[in-house]
Amino acid sequence: MFEKIRKAMVENQLSYRGIKDPRVIAAFLEVERHLFVREEEIEFAYNDYPLPIGSGQTISQPYIVAYMMEKLKIEKDDIVLEVGTGSGYEAALISKIAKQVITLEVDSHLYSESKKKLKQLGYKNIEVLKKNGFEGYEKKAPYDAIIVSAAPVEIPKILMEQLKIGGRMILPLGGFSQQLIYIERNDTDKFSVTGLIYVRFVPMIK
């Protein structure tokens, strides 16, 4: 049942709206979103909107996750830092493309639940850490790509510094009004910053 609904989600919410990267499409077809939502939300798992996952957090709208992943142009040898593990769904998707995903979660409950879930599902190339996302994770830096799944009001400079030369970062930025921002590190002290679509994410917390 879910396979058919998942395929419809990919066709109607992603492909129809312009998502073209075959690796992103394949990841969304493979990863079972209904396994990353609360039991009472399973019937809505493949709908085109965010869902609550507890602790005041949400699992993001599928299209927005796909849009962010496609913009990052993730490659098979990339090491990706994710800020805001949440349910673990986005990390699972990215892990289907990247070599390794380091994902950070500040909330104790979401950290333990997502770590347990990803282990149960057999994801070997995801490392889940309980950490403040504003600090990133220096130990595994620099990163090929960084994806932030909650909105700070200012771009965290520490995250920018943890990008490789040529590395990319995407994040929602702002308070009430938020915009996705794409950043590329062009040199040691040179970054290009591009505004993309307007979005609504939960605030990034410490």
Question: Which amino acids are annotated catalytic?
Answer: 60
φ, ψ of residue 112 to 5 degrees: the values are -65, -40
Buried b or exposed e, range 121-158, using 16+ CB within 10 angstroms: eebeebbbeebebbebbeeebbbbbbbbbbbbeebbee
φ, ψ of residue 12 to 5 degrees: the values are -90, -30
Question: Measuring CA to CA, which residue among 183, 180, 134 is closest to residue 163?
Answer: 183
Q: Using CB atoms within 10 A of its CB, is residue 187 exposed (0-12), middle (13-18) or buried (19+)?
A: exposed
Q: What does the alpha-carbon distance between residue 201 and residue 53 come to, in Å, rounded to a whole number?
A: 14
169 alpha-carbon distance from chain centroid: 11
Which DSSP category does 154 fall into? S
Strand partners, 60: none
Strand partners, 186: none
